[in-house]
A = this chain, B = another copy of it.
Amino acid sequence: MDARVSVIDKRLKNIKRIISVASGKGGVGKSLVASSLALNLAKKGFKVGLLDLDLYGPSSHIILGVKDVFPKEEKGIIPPNVHGINFMSIVYFTEDKPSPFRGIDISNIIIELLAITQWGLLDFLIIDMPPGMGDETLDVIRFIKKSEFLVVSTPSKVALGAVSKLLKILKELKIPIIGVLENMSMTRSSFIKNEIDSMDLPYLGCISFDNALEESIGKPNKLLESDFMKDLDDLLEGINL
């Protein structure tokens, strides 16, 4: 019997809300949304954790410009606080080298991370999810029963193909879906809104394509002032965050 699994609930007990930022599709802005959401909430005075579960292509540390920090070992491992966020990522352990993991390894890494990370008291834990619907998604569903999902799409039909599959399975399993956020919109179109409406799920609004966003990558203070953040912040108001 894998003992590590049993302690996970205890590790997450003092976290008020857990929000997994997911999509099914890659490159839609999950990591940007997750990191920005964490920054936004921290700035509002909440106690916030951020867990990067994209183990192949971890991005949150790039977006937040995290460097030269390492978790403290104390009755487990304590995520370093960066820009007001308790931040946990596989990069602490990989030196950012390639990570050729198979599914079973992914699952074991997630179990280990959840079993040994001491988050303490948090208002929010934000999880930056990888694309797909594999071991990471299935394990978040299996081990983090109280996680809600915030789903990101772009305006494209290609993205919606993967996004709607994730939405269908979450809906079928009666997992709370905060709603769908449309990112990188360039022209006014109600394509995504209509599709989400027809699935009877909340459409949260859209974030415009931000031409200057790349300059804010790695610079949280700049990111806080970006158009991207402005759009996100407006949209968060709509869901009382």
Contacts and interface: CB of A to CB of B under 8 A. Distances in A.
Contact of A99 (B25, B133, B135): B133
Given A56-B131, A130-B132, A211-B186, A102 B168 contact: no
A217 B218 CA distance: 33
The 8 closest A-B pairs by CB, nearest first: A26-B26, A27-B27, A103-B103, A57-B162, A56-B132, A98-B169, A98-B165, A26-B131
Interface of A: 24-28, 31-32, 56-59, 62-63, 96-107, 130-135, 137-138, 154-159, 161-162, 165-166, 168-169, 172, 186, 211, 214, 217-218
9 contacts: A56-B132, A96-B161, A96-B165, A97-B168, A99-B133, A101-B134, A103-B105, A103-B106, A131-B132
| Number of copies of this protein chain within its complex | 2
Contact of A104 (B28, B103, B186): B103
Nearest to A172: B98
A186 B212 CA distance: 11
Nearest to A130: B132
Contacts of A28: 26-27
Nearest to A217: B157
A101 B133 contact: yes
A32 B157 CA distance: 12
B156 A214 contact: yes
Contacts of A106: 103, 134
A155 B25 CA distance: 19
Contact of A25 (B26, B96, B214): B26
B103 A59 contact: no
Nearest to A168: B98
Contacts of A25: 26-27, 57
Nearest to A171: B98
Contacts of A98: 133, 165-166, 168-169, 172
B100 A138 contact: yes
A54 to B, nearest CB: 8
Contacts of A157: 62, 214, 217-218
A56 B63 CA distance: 26
Nearest to A161: B62
